[in-house]
Chain A
């Protein structure tokens, strides 16, 4: 039990730390939403004078005089109530609505891409590691090079070639805007079509890490005694590869997978920027640029919960796939 109690304790502390950081950071940041919105209005040819400023202050609520700990208390109470506040950058929409609208896109695109690159990377890694020293090993430096390329650089070049020059796949947006979002085939096909290129770039740039890690673990695992035993037992190679070698070698990768799953939410900023993809990353950028504290806090909360949730999930999963964990605690 203590394994789970300790884990739970860790998650609570991590959550509390994240929430507190979440509370503090925006308050330490420069700029306030009134000024930013005014500046934005002015840029767009709006009239800005003292009256405008006054009205915006009234609307958005200026700085509060409450002591910081009262604010902190209110913040925690509101969070507990599920009230994330109002996103001033899209005033008066509640933060939860903004996030609710953006989150599915990110989760679908980056989540699927992450899972895909994990499966492909670990799968290829297992194959490469199964017969190390063969030509397959040359996959390793190749994928490493891909991983070392700045992601947006790769993405932009791919967009230029695949999307702009060859016109194979759309390189902008989340779906054909002519269609209405909904659970119909046409829309889903369109979403898949639009998501292919972004997903491809994510997979390309992240597959190398999985592949290398898995390959090295395979090599180590293959020299374990139980692999030799399995061979002596006359098991088929497929069974040894799947049930004995890869099964054990994949354990560290799975832990890594948890962490990367958690970062699905936050890792999408650049992707969404390059591909004009709707999602949480662009919302975060929007929040930061508009000093939209509430939105920022809301997104952080979601990210932290995602990371913690994914970790928790894998901790539990780990207990199942690696029976030793439960004993080790």
Chain B
């Protein structure tokens, strides 16, 4: 892993100095001068408390932000495996449309709602293929759909199901399958497991890691669950009020957090198996300072 973090490899995604502003009555700069790189096959964790700008950053990378959000500065460059560089912020609408999903796909926060409730899973998978792979025959598309479902551990027989007929975990997997279907080089996952049962969550994480090993796509994994990130990420970026305050390997973040905020975040998770700390159930721990 360390090799990846040393930028020995040409990064697949480079974000430089990116800022996003919400043009509301009191404009909010939700993402401030963020720079990061993503190496092929790397899992980059992005952690931070609610509202720190994680989702906004993810949207901006794929230019999915809608007014009132506006990218006020910076650049996003996608370095294709074929060697070309794509300046995402300069793409025309049609080129951007073609770029999306085929090179960079996303799994959204609350993916349960990311599926269209009135059309079947098959049709939704098919939509992607029909748009991006116009040459494929119907049978091929169906086979491909079955294939990706299989990969994420969903019975391909469920292809004709409607979203409401699937459990939350299954829907999440379907979303991941959909993100995989074009074999993109980058996948952004925005809190893909937050609403799930720990056991199911674990299954899905395991699945993601396995697929990443198999297909070698890079992942930006967003969550506020730091312990989780520590388990799965190669590198972790800690975000605070729109800025990345610390970006380091998981090992470093855990053993040697630099920024006080990182330290606080780590302190917010009592250890499962570790010692019972002195602060537990005393009621006067320093962390209760946020009580106004």
Docked pose: A236 CA to B128 CA in angstroms? 10
Q: Does A316 make an interface contact (CB < 8 A)?
A: no
Docked pose: A287 CA to B118 CA in angstroms? 46
Of the candidate stretches A135-143, A173-181, A319-327, the one touching chain B is: A319-327
Interface residues on A, range: 20 to 34
Q: Are A228's CB and B118's CB within 8 A? A: no
Docked pose: A66 CA to B119 CA in angstroms? 59
Residues of A within 8 A of B116 (CB): 226, 230, 243-244, 247-248
| Majority SS at the chain A contact face | helix
Residues of A within 8 A of B115 (CB): 226, 229
Docked pose: A323 CA to B161 CA in angstroms? 10
Q: Are B100's CB and A248's CB within 8 A? A: no
Q: A-facing mask of B109-136, CB < 8 A → 1, else 0?
A: 1110111111110000001100110000
Nearest residue (CB) in A for B62 is A232
Nearest residue (CB) in A for B109 is A225
Known: A225-B113, A233-B131, A243-B119. A323 touches B162 (CB 8 A): yes
Q: Are B98's CB and A234's CB within 8 A? A: yes
Taking the nearest CB of chain A, how far is it from the CB of B95, in angstroms? 10
Summed over the interface, the residue pairs from A and B with CB atoms below 8 Å come to a total of: 82
Residues of A within 8 A of B176 (CB): none
Nearest residue (CB) in B for A224 is B113
Instruction: Select A324's contact among B64, B117, B175, beta carbons within 8 Å.
Output: B117
Q: Are A243's CB and B100's CB within 8 A? A: no
Q: Are B127's CB and A248's CB within 8 A? A: no
Residues of A within 8 A of B131 (CB): 233-236, 239
Docked pose: A251 CA to B97 CA in angstroms? 28
Known: A228-B64, A239-B131, A323-B162. A234 touches B97 (CB 8 A): yes
Docked pose: A231 CA to B114 CA in angstroms? 11
Taking the nearest CB of chain A, how far is it from the CB of B180, in angstroms? 12
Interface residues in chain B, defined as those with a beta carbon under 8 Å from any beta carbon in chain A: 62, 64, 96-102, 105-106, 108-111, 113-120, 127-128, 131-132, 162, 164-165, 175, 178
Told that A226-B113, A233-B178, A239-B127 touch, could you supply 14 new A-B pairs with CB distance under 8 A?
A225-B110, A226-B116, A226-B117, A228-B64, A229-B115, A232-B108, A234-B96, A234-B97, A234-B98, A235-B127, A243-B127, A247-B116, A324-B118, A327-B165
